[in-house]
Amino acid sequence: MSFISIIDGSLGGSAGNTGKVVEKIASTLDSADHDGAVFFLAEKMIHPDDLPKSDAFIFTTGTYWDSWGSPLQRFLELATPTELKDPWVGKPVAIVVTGHSVGAKGILSRLMGVLNTFGMFIPPLCGMTYTLAASCAAENAIGWEDDFWSLEDLNVVLYNLELASHIRGNWKVWNVDGNPSRIWIKE
């Protein structure tokens, strides 16, 4: 059994569209006999030190002006001093980005890079977007509906994440600046 933490960085929190996706993820994990915790950063900001010991993570966010939600940005800023340390190093991560029409795929790619730099790894097919535009297109794409991400694809994401949560390694990390907020600009 794996302990999976879901960290939602959307502005809508549990009541928004991304919150509905988190609800589906959490209910799927519950039915698969997993332990876990859900954190809606828009409702209560947490510090990485407050996270339970997790075997894997799922990050979710909406799309806001070609970026992730400001609650997630704040969380990443607070988490920067923990880069390449517990709780991140060697842990698998899945990412789900929702959006209205465009921009979600770019956010997904950028967030994959950030979380990998924190020390997490992305198992195969553990990143997806779900947008209103793609959902509408899939409804009318006779013969092409499999070419759009759907909420059913979450099952693949969660299966691969859970499988990866059992991988253990003696991961090596490079050195990072231990004080990222220090003043480096000289007068």
CATH number at 9 reads 3.40.50.360
CB atoms within 10 A of CB 73: 15
Evaluate whether residue 187 is within a structural domain. Answer: no
Copy the structure tokens of residue 132: 């209103």
Give the C-alpha distances (Å, rounded to integers) separating 169 from 61, 92, 104, 150, 158. Answer: 29, 12, 32, 33, 21
pLDDT over 90 (residue 145):
no
Q: What is the pTM of this model?
A: 0.93
Phi and psi at 64, nearest 5°, equal: -135, 105
Evaluate whether residue 158 is within a structural domain. Answer: yes
Evaluate whether residue 106 is within a structural domain. Answer: yes
Exposed e or buried b per residue across 171-180, where buried means at least 16 C-beta atoms within 10 angstroms of its C-beta: eeeeeeeeee
pLDDT in tens, 21-67: 999 999 988 777 778 999 999 999 999 999 989 999 999 999 999 99
Strands of the 127-131 sheet, one edge to the other: 35-40, 3-8, 56-61, 93-99, 127-131
Evaluate whether residue 176 is within a structural domain. Answer: no
What rounded mean pLDDT belongs to the chain?
A: 93
Q: Give residue 110's pLDDT.
A: 98
Q: Give residue 83's pLDDT.
A: 94
97 by DSSP, 3-state: which?
strand
Confidence class for position 112, pLDDT limits 50, 70, 90: very high
Phi and psi at 169, nearest 5°, equal: -150, 160
Evaluate whether residue 16 is within a structural domain. Answer: yes
Q: List the single range of 22-26, 94-98, 167-171 with lowest mean pLDDT.
A: 167-171
Residues 6+ away with beta carbon under 8 Å from 71: 8, 9, 10, 11, 41, 42, 45
Q: Give residue 148's pLDDT.
A: 87
Residue-range definition of the domain harbouring residue 51: 3-164
Domain total of the chain = 1
Q: What's the rounded Cα separation, in Å, for the pair 60 and 6?
A: 8
Is 2 within 8 Å of 56 (Cβ atoms)? yes
Evaluate whether residue 178 is within a structural domain. Answer: no
pLDDT over 90 (residue 143):
no
Evaluate whether residue 180 is within a structural domain. Answer: no
Evaluate whether residue 34 is within a structural domain. Answer: yes
